[in-house]
Structure 1
Amino acid sequence: MSHISNGYHNYGGMVATQSTKDNVPSCNSLIDLTVLKGEKLSAAVLNIIRNLFPEWAHNVEKVSLDRVSGALTNAVFFVNAPNKRRMLLRVYGIGCDQIVDRAKELFWLARLSDLKIGPALLGTFENGRFEEYLDSTTLTSDAIHQPIISQQIAICLRRLHDIINVYPPSKSQTLEVWCNIDKWYRVVLGLVPSLKNKNADWGKILDAYNLDQLGQEILQCKAILERVQSPVVFAHNDTQYGNILQLEKTGELVVVDFEYSGYNPRGFDIANHFCEWMYDYHSDQPASLQADRFPTLEERLRFCKAYIDAGEDNSLCAEDLEREVSTWLMGPHVFWGLWGLIQASQSEIDFDYFLFFTQRISAFRNELAKWSDN
């Protein structure tokens, strides 16, 4: 967690408060990554910085940008200049307004900052934002398999989940999992004709995957999961290794990137993390699901025990939590499967979103069949 006093981050001449996003400097500039490359991109970024952070930009004639690999929704860069504190730049992916509710994301970033959680939001522009850079290293795919690291992640998730005690949901609150799945399913149905025109092979696969049938399967999934007693928590919903940092000075883990966060069943959030064990976004096949890397029962129970021990509720046992989470595995699979197909239609990021879609929907159907028989 980043340490904040009085809700303010003093950041190399910039002071940004996050009580509300209105207190964060903002401008209407836009960065088009399909046009801006190299020096032109650096110059455009510097112009925005001069607008948002004139003190930081004082005497800065040029910035360098280091692109962060492994980001699947946005383009993420480290912004560097001599004698200036590094910043993180996030440029939203093309068409991501169909996937991410930016107003909701910024709303939660403000709340999290009030609780001294995560990096500071420094400034926003039309299609992106600047964030505090934390001196840290990003976890790797192998790291989250390590017992100690896995237990630390469990503790981090428990702390995030317990935010619901500070900011409880309204009685009419819609869960993120169903809100997004329902919305994305409608979007996907509308995209099918253009996807078939984009790639003839995709058309054949989409016919075989029968997206009309998928709608009925989603209803069946909901019916099964409604019977699972999984309390609603404040969930991160995307705890892949690239969104977990280890601070250089303390070794403490920090969960970042709250694009998909919100109220969800506890089982969904933990199940989603377990699914992320199967991916290495820096490998030769970053979109490929590696089923043999899914955590073993021993590893799942170790995680669940650490999660339980981090809270005050001693009535729950690791075996019961593990079963709750296992039942919820179908949720993240269909959630990200639909996400993948939308991204396949529009993203400029070099990632096989279509393969990602097919494998996640297949995994969803396998899980659905397993629990439908119970």
Structure 2
Amino acid sequence: MARQTIELVKGCEHNEEIVELLMAVASDFGDEIDDVSSLVVVPMKGGMTNEVFQINWPTKSDGHIRRVLVRLYGEGVDIFFKREDEIHNFEWMSKHGQGPLLLGHFTSGRVEEFLNARTLSASDLRDPEISAMIATKMRDFHNLHVPGAKKAHIWQRLRNMLNHAKRLCSPKTVITFGLDNLHADINMLEVLLSEECHEIGFCHNDLQYGNIMMDEEQRTIIFIDYEFACHNPIAYDLAYHFCDMEGDYHSDQPHIIHTSKYPGLEERQRFIRIYLSADGNKPSNTEVEQLVNAAEKYTLPCYLFYGLWGLLWDAVSTIDFDCKEYAKQRFQQYWLKKPTVFDSDPSYIISQDGIVNSLQAPLT
């Protein structure tokens, strides 16, 4: 095991610590592992911020295979979120029956319960039955009483990401993507969207299909990976989920966004009606329409987040993903959608005091 781990986790300074923790976890299960060579390491497809491995060993009682998951934290993610906040969220979720159990910590990662569930695909999000299960799970998730300030965190997160992007990107990229103008846009969006009373809940903030699993036997949905989780308007989390239906990160061109796959009005209405019904009350048509409209407006900070994420990940990551082209497509959607969102509501009159410089996309 030690030899395999060193080969798989090049440059990791904590391989012996990982082995010791795995031995302790095995002991907690009542298993005895005398020879570390009996541990089998299986690399898995993880997210873009972590490396993930399935670790197998034979159980003591009946020789069946025990499985756990080892997650190695990625580097450079402090420009997106605080790792200590993510660890805190994971520990809280684990203690309260959400997601996988936490089995142990080591310096550069953790050991988690291996879930008997499959990760969803892009097409699963359009399956009416699965979509309904996700909507119900989202409502339950948003109702969790997780410690922390119950306010919108998205605006400061966007400002922080924008500051990092302006620092890390080349002057040409800053000009091409119009980054110098985005502080005004973020301020404007915060003011306009805060004028309405939007419900705040504990949001996942990254509900793309790769972070949603389904237990086929129990027919239950599980959310995983809480790197970006915090309190936010629930409309933002709904908007993020809808926007991410445009992507397929396991296609031949994972960076390409298919805007035609954004869910239509009827699909969004159906999802939100199921979402609101999860509390046990039948929502009125007005309540559904209000949340549908709010989610549509919150697609704008979602597209800004995606675009800034792409530029930042292009600057700090070596993954095989055309981050800059991804960012370009997301920013273009922001500039294209911005006037239609404002025009849909007469109260969203764009001021003439210099807050908004242009509604035209700076990209060519």
TM-score by length of 1: 0.80
Alpha-carbon displacement from aligned partner over 1:80-116 (angstroms, at most 9, x marks no partner): 3344521222222221122121111122222222321
**How far, CA to CA, are the matches of 2:155 and 2:12 in structure 1?**
41
Q: 1:65 aligns with which of 19, 41, 56?
A: 41
Structure 1 match to 2:20 = 51
| Contact map agreement 1:42 1:64 (CA 8 A) in 2 | no
Q: Structure 1 pair 365/127, CA: closer, same or farther in 2 (3 Å)?
A: farther
| Contact map agreement 2:277 2:283 (CA 8 A) in 1 | no
Could you tell me how far 1:273 is from its partner in structure 2? Answer: 0.4
Query: Which of structures 1 and 2 has the larger relative contact order (alpha carbons within 8 angstroms, sep 6+)?
Result: 1
Structure 2 match to 1:75 = 51
- Three-state SS of the structure 2 residue aligned to 1:184 is helix
Could you tell me how far 1:254 is from its partner in structure 2? Answer: 0.8
**How far, CA to CA, are the matches of 1:299 and 1:315 in structure 2?**
16
Identity of aligned residues (%): 30
| Contact map agreement 1:69 1:282 (CA 8 A) in 2 | no
Could you tell me how far 1:42 is from its partner in structure 2? Answer: 12
- Three-state SS of the structure 2 residue aligned to 1:47 is helix
Q: Structure 1 pair 175/37, CA: closer, same or farther in 2 (3 Å)?
A: farther
- Three-state SS of the structure 2 residue aligned to 1:85 is strand
| Contact map agreement 1:70 1:282 (CA 8 A) in 2 | no
Q: 1:152 aligns with which of 133, 136, 147?
A: 133
Could you tell me how far 1:127 is from its partner in structure 2? Answer: 2.6
**How far, CA to CA, are the matches of 2:273 and 2:11 in structure 1?**
47
Matching residue's letter, 2:295? V
Structure 1 match to 2:295 = 325
- Three-state SS of the structure 2 residue aligned to 1:81 is strand
1:268 aligns with 2:236: yes
**How far, CA to CA, are the matches of 1:233 and 1:281 in structure 2?**
27
| Contact map agreement 1:93 1:348 (CA 8 A) in 2 | no
Gaps of 5+ in 2: 27-31, 60-64, 346-364
Could you tell me how far 1:243 is from its partner in structure 2? Answer: 0.8
Structure 1 match to 2:211 = 243
**How far, CA to CA, are the matches of 1:366 and 1:219 in structure 2?**
19
Q: 1:122 aligns with which of 103, 107, 110?
A: 103
Structure 1 match to 2:307 = 337
Matching residue's letter, 2:254? P
Aligned length: 326
Structure 2 match to 1:303 = 271
| Contact map agreement 1:60 1:81 (CA 8 A) in 2 | no
1:347 aligns with 2:317: yes
Could you tell me how far 1:301 is from its partner in structure 2? Answer: 0.9
Structure 1 match to 2:152 = 175
**How far, CA to CA, are the matches of 2:12 and 2:290 in structure 1?**
55
Please, which moves more after superposition, 215-224 or 180-189?
215-224
Q: 2:85 aligns with which of 91, 95, 104?
A: 104
- Three-state SS of the structure 1 residue aligned to 2:43 is strand
| Contact map agreement 1:120 1:132 (CA 8 A) in 2 | yes
Could you tell me how far 1:177 is from its partner in structure 2? Answer: 0.9
Q: Structure 1 pair 65/275, CA: closer, same or farther in 2 (3 Å)?
A: farther
| Contact map agreement 1:76 1:89 (CA 8 A) in 2 | yes
Structure 2 match to 1:7 = none
TM-score by length of 2: 0.82
Alpha-carbon displacement from aligned partner over 1:263-310 (angstroms, at most 9, x marks no partner): 000100000000111111100111111101111111111100110110
Structure 2 match to 1:4 = none
Could you tell me how far 1:43 is from its partner in structure 2? Answer: 10
- Three-state SS of the structure 2 residue aligned to 1:53 is helix
- Three-state SS of the structure 2 residue aligned to 1:277 is helix
Could you tell me how far 1:183 is from its partner in structure 2? Answer: 1.1
Based on CA coordinates, which of the two structures has the bigger radius of gyration? 2
Query: Over aligned residues, Cα RMSD in angstroms?
Result: 2.4
Q: Structure 1 pair 351/67, CA: closer, same or farther in 2 (3 Å)?
A: farther
1:189 aligns with 2:155: no
Could you tell me how far 1:188 is from its partner in structure 2? Answer: 0.8
